[in-house]
Amino acid sequence: MTEKPKILVTRKLPQAVERQLEQNYQPLLNPDDRLYSTDELISLSEGAAAILPCHTEQLTAEVIDRLPDSIKIIANFSVGVDHCDLAAAKARGIVVTNTPDVLSEATAEIAILLMLGAARRASEGERMVRSQEWKDWSPDFMVGIQATGKRLGIIGMGRVGQVMARYARDAFGMEIHYHNRSRLPAELEAGATYYDTVEDLLPQCQFLSLHCPATPESIGLLNAKRIALLPEDAIVVNTARGALIEDEALHAALVSGKIAAAGLDVYNNEPTGIFPGYRDLTNIFLLPHIGSATRETRDAMGFRALANLDAYFAGKEPVDRVA
Ligand code: 8YV
């Protein structure tokens, strides 16, 4: 009988996923969920045929070049693959997969939460109640901005962007405007208005939600020049990647009031190195990268990563192959 392939699992996964992994593989699990250093990751990979990492593992070209020859596939537990140098993996003949589809609804839910939380001043209000600073009610107390019927701009109309568009349209009657690398077919566009360039889209966005991956082209996409194109009092939401935003520019626009509020779930240098100025602002709603953090979705992400491993080890093409 051939030996079950060894899989390095870098983080603690949902229990049901780990039990399933144990059926077909020899997983090297991380029950304490410790973040491995690069050296540890490389030495633990010795003799393994696959790595099942999260976006918390920086699989740069240098790291990939140092992986042992035994590694044949990197089956990510994430849809984003900006933490993984695909060209370096390809050059070494290492297959790379991700987990699309299964987290679109959970992430769009958080985008809606951020949109409403920022527009309706949720964290400011919550802090006020907790600290017993709430003393009075008046007609102008905690007045925010209504989402219903407004124009929502979406940059990146992929799977998550499309669900966000649907939720915003169906629940709040929002008018959807979007930019994407290419225009969607009419049935997926569902009445949304397409713009060829980000510059053309921005002046329409009373609300703006970012849903594109972080790539060399999109890093720093929302900079001071582009923020200036937004209408006064716009609201910016980011559930995609922190790298899409130039923090100093967003911070300045929140301080000056050019932007009414922002809702962020992802950050440059998260979790410990996030732009410090954000913490001092009241007009920002901050969450700790929990877009896909539901029981249902985390299970589904794990099983999707497993399905990719199963396909690979059965000699088939993994459905979510990205390199
Ligand atoms: C995940 C995400 O929590 O899948 C992604 O790309 O950003 C998150 O929703 C994370 O990546 C898990 O590795």
| Strand 207-210 to 193-195 pairing | unpaired
Report the distance separating Cα 307 and Cα 175, nearest Å: 37
Instruction: Please give the helix or strand (H or E) that residue 88 lies within, else none.
Output: helix 86-91
- Known catalytic residue: 289? yes
Nearest atom, ligand 1, residue 293 CA: 3
113 neighbors 169 (Cβ within 8 angstroms): no
Helix axes 15-24, 295-313, angle to 10 degrees: 10
Q: Cα–Cα distance between 19 and 24 in angstroms, integer?
A: 10
Task: Tell me how many degrees the CA angle 145-226-80 measures, rounded to the nearest 5.
Answer: 85
**Going by CA atoms, what residue is nearest to atom 3 of ligand 1?**
292
Q: Is 169 a catalytic residue?
A: no
CA 144 to centroid of ligand 1, rounded, Å: 30
**Residue range 46-103, pLDDT digits in tens:** 999 999 999 999 999 999 999 999 999 999 999 999 999 999 999 999 999 999 999 9
User: What is the reported pLDDT for 3?
Assistant: 92
Task: Give the chain's domains with CATH numbers.
Answer: 6-102+295-313 (3.40.50.720), 104-286 (3.40.50.720)
Largest interatomic CA distance in the chain? 75
Q: Which two tokens stand for residue 5?
A: 């392939």
Residue located nearest, by CA, to atom 12 of ligand 1 = 78
Q: Ligand 1 atom 6: the closest Cα is on which residue?
A: 80
Q: How far apart are CA 67 and CA 179, in angstroms?
A: 38
Position 219: which residue type?
I
On whether the pTM is more than 0.85, the answer is yes
What atom of ligand 1 comes closest to residue 99's alpha carbon? 4
Catalytic hit among 241, 251, 298, 304: 241
Mutate to test the pocket of ligand 1, among 55, 212, 295 (most ligand atoms within 8 A of CB): 55
Measured CA to CA, the distance from residue 271 to residue 293 in angstroms comes to 15
Task: Note the pLDDT tens digit of each residue in 157-198.
Answer: 999 999 999 999 999 999 999 999 999 999 999 999 999 999
pLDDT over 90 (residue 1): no
Predicted confidence at residue 2, as pLDDT, reads 80
Ligand 1 mutation target, pool 82, 292, 294, most atoms within 8 A of CB: 292
3-state SS, residue 262: strand
Active site residue 279: no
